[in-house]
Chain A
Amino acid sequence: AQTVTQSQPEMSVQEAETVTLSCTYDTSESDYYLFWYKQPPSRQMILVIRQEAYKQQNATENRFSVNFQKAAKSFSLKISDSQLGDAAMYFCAYSRETSGSRLTFGEGTQLTVNP
């Protein structure tokens, strides 16, 4: 069963605008780690941001921030001031104690940035 769900297969945003990508996950554990990876057309998987579940403060990395709602099991990615170079497939992923160090990925969201 799919345990990481990205319900938006595709999203688009105007350059300089803000966009939010959704991710929900399913786990009964309390200690886990969440990640957003970006895959541009070059195919390279690039870490965008990560969040430790035991930290209540939302992670931020420059124009990228997350809205982590632990009770709702939601982990959305907000991209501010979108740039053409942000166009990519974005994957939400987590790692849990019961699955070792493996990453479990969502289906991905293809983001288009319009000039």
Chain B
Amino acid sequence: DTAVSQTPKYLVTQMGNDKSIKCEQNLGHDTMYWYKQDSKKFLKIMFSYNNKELIINETVPNRFSPKSPDKAHLNLHINSLELGDSAVYFCASSPHRDRKETQYFGPGTRLLVL
């Protein structure tokens, strides 16, 4: 049973397109996250939701819009894709919005913008 799943795993698209990445967790966790891993493998937080409420919103272009329809799902929609958006996007979840909690990661979505 996959704990944190993401779809799709690979996404190749043209500049200017709009795309979405979906994330689901079956761990019963309250808190979910989106991280971006760039070409140098550096990981950085983008967003976090706790029980469908946005709690972390890093300095991310407003072309990126997260949506959490319920606490088990956190989707990431990206408008007007740019070359620099090419990266691996990881979804993660933790039991609560507490810094002591271990975060469990999905398998990542590799996005390539041509």
Chain A residues in the interface with B (C-beta under 8 A): 32-33, 35, 37, 39, 42-47, 50, 52, 89, 91, 93, 95-97, 99-105, 107-108
Do most interface residues of chain B lie in helix, strand or loop, or is the interface mixed?
strand
Main secondary structure of the interface of A (DSSP, over half): strand
Please tell me if the beta carbons of B88 and A102 are within 8 angstroms of each other in the complex.
no
Question: Would A97 and B88 be within 8 Å (CB), given that A43-B107, A43-B108, A105-B44 are in contact?
Answer: no
**Is A108 a contact of B97 with CB atoms below 8 Å?**
no
Known: A32-B99, A95-B99, A108-B42. A100 touches B108 (CB 8 A): no
The closest CB in chain B to the CB of A89 belongs to B41
**B42 vs chain A, min Cβ distance (A):** 6
- Kindly provide the distance from the CB of A93 to the nearest chain B CB, expressed in whole angstroms: 8
CA gap between A100 and B50 in the complex, in Å: 12
Chain B residues engaging chain A, CB cutoff 8 angstroms: 31, 33, 35, 40-45, 48, 55-56, 88, 90, 92, 94, 96-105, 107-108, 110
**Using Cβ atoms and an 8 Å threshold, which residues of chain A touch B98?**
101
Within 8 Å by CB of A95, from B40, B100, B105, B110, lies B100
Q: How far is the CA of A33 from the CA of B96 in the complex (A)?
A: 15
User: Given the complex, which residues of B lie within 8 Å of A96, measured CB to CB?
Assistant: 99
**B97 proximity list for chain A (CB < 8 A):** 100-101
Cα distance A95–B110 when bound, in Å?
A: 25
Contact A44 B99 (CB under 8 A): no
Contact (Cβ within 8 A) B44 A44? no
Task: Indicate which residue in B88, B92, B104 contacts A43 across the interface (CB closer than 8 Å).
Answer: B88
Most chain A CB within a 10 A radius of its CB, from B31, B41, B96, B110: B41
